[in-house]
Structure 1
Amino acid sequence: MRTAGFALLSLLLAAPAAWAQQAVAFDWFEYVGKDAAFEQPLPPGHYRNPILAGFHPDPGIARAGDKYYLVNSTFGYFPGIPVFESDDLVHWRQIGSVIDRPSQLDFDGLQLSRGVFAPTISFHGGTFYVLNTAVDSGGNYIVTAKDPAGPWSEPVWLPTVGGIDTSLFFDDDGKAYLLNNDAPEGEPLYDGHRAIWLREFDLEKLQPAGEAKVVVNGGMDIAQKPIWIEGPHLYKRDGWYYLSCAEGGTGPQHSQVVARSRNVWGPYVPYEHNPILTQRDLPDDRAEPVTNAGHADLVEGRDGRWWAVFLASRNYGGTHYNTGRETYLLPVEWKDGWPTILEHGRAIPRVAPAPSWVQGAARQAPLSGNFAWRDEFDQPRLDRAWLRVRVPKTAWADLAARPGALTIHPLAENLDTLRNPSFLARRQQHLVFEASTALDVPARPGVAAGIAAFQNEAHWYFLGVRRTAGGKAQLFLEKSAGKPAETIATATLAAGKTLKLKIAGNEGAYSFGYDDGDGWRWLRQGEDGTILSTDVAGGFVGATLGPYARSEESE
């Protein structure tokens, strides 16, 4: 079968010669994380939270035999919806992506925080199912695969299912059910009034069957006007149906709640000690705060103990988090027939006892902890850590043109585009980090290339270099903070061919350096990094870093 990579390579081979002449080669890219919180010693038999550091929100989890599979939201990034595999819930490796072909979805014209929201993954009868909402780009759909590494099917659309946050539940009698968040029956009573709907699902037709019913209206106690009940999951244990949902929005008031019933259709009785997970009841001025906790999914471990994966954020300066919403792991404690993930008033532990069957030291790099990660671009395909902003229509990222280097064939798209810029993005996973690269200075005027720190199309930095008409190399730093980009620093370099560039972040301070052969120097230090935080930039993604090139030739 003709792969997406082969199709993109065919496009490259057909590219005009002028496009090839603008190409810029990047020799390597390195990322180093240095968070103080990750320096806490890790005792034997323990693991480190978050288990997936950096922008890995909305985790969904499934067990197949003795292996576990986890998916995350990627919104407008491509490939979309990474699939991770683990033997022990602690050590994860990405084995593929659900949305890895341009034919599946298209995000052109969308802001980055639209696209794929909150995927869920299930395994039943030898088939894996992922349900997802393509916001502003198609609605709810389902895809299937026999192998979770892929390939996944083309989307099967669910036109009668509105809202977001779809999930499947398989009952003991063979019936399947679909849950989702949507508007309530009638007019909403207040802003944020939503409902959880349930309906049967036909696994042969991959479509809903029968009437839908509201099983939660508003939240656990509608008299309190709870907002944004969402992320529903159904579980069955000891004859009880447990309906667990997120409530309170995705910010500091985020929480996880649960209700139960003896009948799949309800009525569902809320737990009197809800929420079963939150951080909203902790002091705002606590050290190294973890906030926004919620959107949990539960799974039974092979020792019979249950575990929860959920999202949360590591803040600095009270409200800022450039690393986005990350994936955490905690055990589920059952008491009197009810599950609890975290006791009220308790902070999420950064280091916790691992599942009983974890073997060896819980080394989690490059997904958690402090580490150095380097890509020499010497493999036949891009590392799975790399993302593109929206779906690429041309093969601008090329590993074949110059073996051992990444060649970018620059597009005319700036970083403020609502299409696909020629920017290769890697998640920022630490509050304190350095990201660096080495590249060839563009050989002729009309091309700018360098390294970018990117939050969304309106919030980013670009440290770049271009060749002037006189043959000199001009270094520059561009900044976009919710308004048209401006150049905030420039320098003229020697007319050398190669250049190293670096971005160093320390919470809300970002510095930009270069080495043109005389050692590292700073172009600008202490620039405002809070513009790359989710609370300032808005939306649901975290910051990313990577090589970028653009064509500046006029049409």
Structure 2
Amino acid sequence: MKNEPWRRIVLNNSYHDHSLFFDDNGKFYLVWGGGKLQIVELKEDLSEVKEETKKVLIENANEPAKSDIMLPAEGSQLFKINGKYYLFNICWPKNGMRTVIIHRADSITGPWEGKIGLQDLGVAQGGLIDTPDGRWFSYLFRDAGGVGRIPYLVPVQWENGWPVLGENGKVPETLDLPANKSLIPGIVNSDEFTRKKGENDLPLVWQWNHNPDNKFWSVKERKGYLRLKTSRIDSSFTQVKNILTQRTFGPVCSGSALLELSNMKEGDFAGLSLLQKDFGLVGVKVENGKKKIIMINAENGNPKEIESVLLNQDKIYFKAECNFKDQADRGKFYYSLDGKKWISIGKPINMPYTIPHFMGYRFGLFNYASKTIGGSADFDYFRVNDKISETK
């Protein structure tokens, strides 16, 4: 089984905020819903649901919160631990905060009893994990404005058959955990774009904004550089393919890059962005045979050129700074001609969390064409830092 190829299965119905549950009795289930939670059994090959098994699992999963509910219980995650079933959900009381709801039962058919599992800092929505040495945690997240949704590990103790989340009901800000030894050095990392034999072209800290066109980027064509080549004409920045991104992080951070521009064509635009619906960016555009440094602010989703500066060289340094402290959610852009003196350009951008993109702001390296395809821009490095020049 483990060596079989992946195959795609499409279920022909909509199941809101669903999750899969593999019971230890060999049965497979889908759990979904908001407020009223439902369950249905799947066929053994997961190809379709058994419609005759569909039933209401819990009629009102919000009930433990005992208040007016803005967001009904959703995000179901079901577990079986020591013979008991545990169901995790999130709900959001009006004028309250995101709240963990836990139900348990001796049988998957119920009866279910529920309680509030955690109500602190809005940390919620997730489930349970345990470690080889017997410790338990709940993996959850917190909405944190422009930086996005911050993952949390919350310690769990067991009392009277219930998982008890947090320390005295509170989410600790730090945990005593060993250093990460996985393939990812962190959720973000600097990159000099040098690759040894056998290394992946891109480590997992990077993600593309859209499914990439792999013929038009490379870290091998020019040793020590990321090359982004243009493949089509684009008029909308958020629709550009092959924007290479990493997430931003708090409370403050910056990302900087060195670009070489000698292979750009008329109408090409390359640089560094803070990517979301209300994006901001700084880059170099070739117009009438001349290169201009341009800062764009897309406040309220409406891109506007704020400032431009004529550039008379083929090398340019860019930097984007983010201040998420106390949800300030502000970004600033800089350029440098020599990598030493940084010059502010444009104006600070507001960085709200928006539903259309459903993610926090991301650093993005880009190059796209507006007139002629076939040009390229070379990025010598991308470096992240947990400091910025100012916090106002």
Q: After TM superposition, list the pairs within 5 Å mapping 1:63-462 onto structure 2.
A: 146=2, 153-160=6-13, 162-171=15-24, 173-181=25-33, 194-209=35-50, 210-221=52-63, 224-226=67-69, 227-248=71-92, 253-271=97-115, 274=116, 276-279=117-120, 291-313=121-143, 315=144, 321-342=145-166, 346=170, 348-354=171-177, 358=178, 366-367=185-186, 373-378=190-195, 381-393=201-213, 395-410=215-230, 411-417=232-238, 419-442=239-262, 443-455=264-276, 458-462=277-281
Pick one of 365, 369, 390 that aligns with 1:551: 369
CA RMSD between the two structures: 3.1
Give the TM-score, by structure 2 length. 0.81
Q: Counterparts of 1:169 and 1:250 in 2: how far apart (Å)?
A: 34
TM-superposed deviation, 1:268: 0.7
Q: Counterparts of 1:176 and 1:381 in 2: how far apart (Å)?
A: 37
Q: Counterparts of 1:523 and 1:512 in 2: how far apart (Å)?
A: 6
TM-superposed deviation, 1:449: 0.8
Q: Counterparts of 2:94 and 2:191 in 1: how far apart (Å)?
A: 33
1:399 maps to a residue whose letter is: V
TM-superposed deviation, 1:225: 4.7
Q: Counterparts of 2:235 and 2:368 in 1: how far apart (Å)?
A: 7
TM-superposed deviation, 1:199: 2.0
Give the TM-score, by structure 1 length. 0.59
2:59 maps to a residue whose letter is: N
Instruction: Structure 2 unaligned segments of length 5 or more: list them.
Output: 374-392
2:294 maps to a residue whose letter is: F
Higher relative contact order by CA 8 Å / sep ≥ 6: 1 or 2?
1
1:474 maps to a residue whose letter is: K
1:486 pairs with 2:304:
yes
TM-superposed deviation, 1:544: 0.7
Q: Counterparts of 1:158 and 1:309 in 2: how far apart (Å)?
A: 28
State percent identity of aligned pairs.
20
Q: Counterparts of 2:356 and 2:203 in 1: how far apart (Å)?
A: 28
- Give the conservation status (yes or no) of the 8 Å contact 2:88–2:102: yes
Q: Would the alpha carbon gap of residues 372 and 242 (structure 1) be closer, same or farther in structure 2, given more than 3 Å must change?
A: closer
Partner of 2:337: 516
Q: Would the alpha carbon gap of residues 439 and 381 (structure 1) be closer, same or farther in structure 2, given more than 3 Å must change?
A: same
CA deviation vs aligned residue, 1:366-389 (integer Å, no higher than 9, x gap)? 436xx8622325366122222122
- Paired residues in the alignment total 360
1:502 maps to a residue whose letter is: K
Q: Would the alpha carbon gap of residues 421 and 254 (structure 1) be closer, same or farther in structure 2, given more than 3 Å must change?
A: same
2:172 maps to a residue whose letter is: P
- Give the conservation status (yes or no) of the 8 Å contact 1:513–1:520: no
- Give the conservation status (yes or no) of the 8 Å contact 2:298–2:304: yes
CA deviation vs aligned residue, 1:34-55 (integer Å, no higher than 9, x gap)? xxxxxxxxxxxxxxxxxxxxxx
Q: Counterparts of 2:23 and 2:322 in 1: how far apart (Å)?
A: 46
